[in-house]
């Protein structure tokens, strides 16, 4: 697999803030790639730099082996779907979508054809004479998407594309985006702070923190083999126990828990990561405590158990097995299912 978009050692500083610190990424052709991270991690800065709306202090970016950074913003084969959508309020849906093609000086018949096609794809052909102010949030989002993909860019950048939509429309649009990406054969790079969204939509994820890439992996890898405590904490739900390693154990908050096989030496600082679904309830367990509350999530519930740690232990439980609040729970797990990370 050859790299298509190659981002090598890019940095950007705003005054005292290091927005991007020596970031390197390789993104493959036709990949659905997610830049994930908390707000202020630099993901949007990177996206805007790829679009040419932000300059970089140092580093090299090549697209299909050609220097991208020396191409002016309006000539890049890269289109951005803005978080605010940035639809032109003085133009109707059709003219919004046609705007980019008209700048390419294509002939009228081709513009007409391509705009019609893309409006059919996003199911907005009946709204083509409407102004943006007359559209719903979901419709605006689709116009913004149509306006970007009609240009047939090599890369489509999406800046928090679904954040303004309510949950139900959002999951529909996630499917829609995946379908479109597949059909159009365009490389998608999506910026999001929502780990669930990144996990469900992307082929690969780069998790960023404080201007640096922490881990690049597929969603499954990132969930099952987080590289650092930050990744384990940010991706999915987990129970973290920081402590000192012994022989096959970790001492945390005065208690001793079993650890999986590790290359870390005894006596070093480490974090034990335990996913809620790897813990089971039984007659006896490694740790025990009182059920404080349970949150219902459709198919399963998340139990919060007070086992004498500073934090409540999160346990995933099938709906018909939820014990009454206040009862004693015995928690057990296979040490091999837990993850041990060096604590730096």
Residues at the site binding another protein, with contacts judged by CB under 8 A: 51-53, 73-75, 78-80, 82-84, 86-90, 92, 99-100, 103-104, 131-134, 147, 151
CB atoms within 10 A of CB 189: 25
Shortest distance, position 275 Cβ to another protein, whole Å: 39
Interatomic CA distance for residues 30 and 50, integer angstroms: 17
Give least dist CB 269 to another protein, A.
45
Cβ closest to another protein, residue 147 vs residue 275: 147
Shortest distance, position 34 Cβ to another protein, whole Å: 20
Residues 99, 132 contacting (CB under 8 angstroms): no
**Nearest alpha carbon to residue 189 among 164, 208, 211, 171:** 208
Between 81 and 274, name the residue whose CB sits nearer to another protein. 81
Instruction: Please tell me whether residue 42 adopts helix, strand or coil conformation.
Output: coil
Nearer Cβ to another protein (98/257):
98
For residue 119, what are its two tokens? 């409006």
Provide φ and ψ at 342, rounded to 5°: -65, 140
Q: What are the φ/ψ torsions at residue 259 (nearest 5 degrees)?
A: -120, 155
Among positive and negative, which fits the CA dihedral 216, 220, 221, 227?
A: positive
User: What's the min distance (Å) between Cβ of 57 and another protein?
Assistant: 20
Nearer to another protein, 146 or 305 (CB): 146
Nearer to another protein, 155 or 165 (CB): 155
- Shortest Å, Cβ 153 to another protein: 10
Beta-bridge partner residues of 213 = 208
CB of 19: closest distance to another protein in angstroms?
A: 17
Angle, vertex CA 29, rays to CA 28 and CA 35, nearest 5: 50
Contact status, residue 294 vs residue 275, Cβ threshold 8 Å: no
Measured from the CB atom, the residue of 83 and 139 that comes closer to another protein is 83
């Amino acid at each position: 697999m050859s790299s298509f978009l190659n981002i090598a050692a890019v940095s950007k500083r705003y005054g005292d803030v290091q927005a991007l610190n020596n970031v390197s990424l390789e993104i493959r052709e036709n990949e659905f790639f997610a830049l994930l991270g908390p707000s202020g991690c630099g993901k949007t800065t990177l996206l805007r730099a790829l679009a040419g709306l932000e300059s970089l202090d140092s580093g090299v970016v090549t697209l299909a082996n050609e220097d991208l950074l020396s191409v002016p913003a309006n000539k890049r084969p890269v289109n951005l779907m803005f978080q605010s959508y940035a639809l032109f309020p003085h133009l109707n849906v059709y003219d919004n979508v046609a705007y980019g093609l008209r700048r390419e000086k294509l002939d009228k018949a081709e513009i007409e054809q391509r705009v019609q096609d893309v409006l059919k794809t996003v199911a907005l052909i009946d709204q083509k004479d409407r102004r943006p102010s007359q559209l719903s949030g979901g419709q605006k989002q689709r116009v913004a998407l149509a306006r970007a993909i009609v240009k047939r860019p090599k890369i489509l950048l999406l800046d928090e594309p679904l954040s303004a939509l309510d949950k139900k429309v959002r999951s529909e649009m996630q499917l829609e985006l995946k379908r479109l990406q597949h059909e159009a054969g365009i490389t998608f790079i999506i910026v999001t702070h929502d780990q669930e969204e990144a996990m469900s939509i992307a082929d690969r994820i780069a998790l960023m923190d404080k201007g640096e890439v922490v881990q690049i992996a597929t969603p499954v890898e990132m969930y099952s083999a987080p590289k650092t405590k930050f990744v384990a904490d940010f991706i999915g739900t987990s129970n973290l126990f920081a402590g000192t390693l012994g022989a096959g154990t970790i001492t945390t908050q005065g208690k001793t828990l079993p650890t999986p096989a590790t290359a870390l030496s005894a006596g070093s600082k480490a974090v034990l990561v335990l996913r809620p679904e790897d813990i089971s309830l039984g007659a006896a367990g490694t740790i025990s405590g009182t059920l404080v509350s349970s949150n219902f999530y459709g198919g399963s519930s998340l139990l919060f158990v007070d086992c004498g740690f500073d934090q409540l232990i999160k346990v995933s439980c099938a709906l018909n097995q939820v014990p009454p609040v206040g009862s004693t729970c015995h928690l057990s797990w296979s040490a091999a299912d837990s993850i041990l990370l060096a604590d730096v």
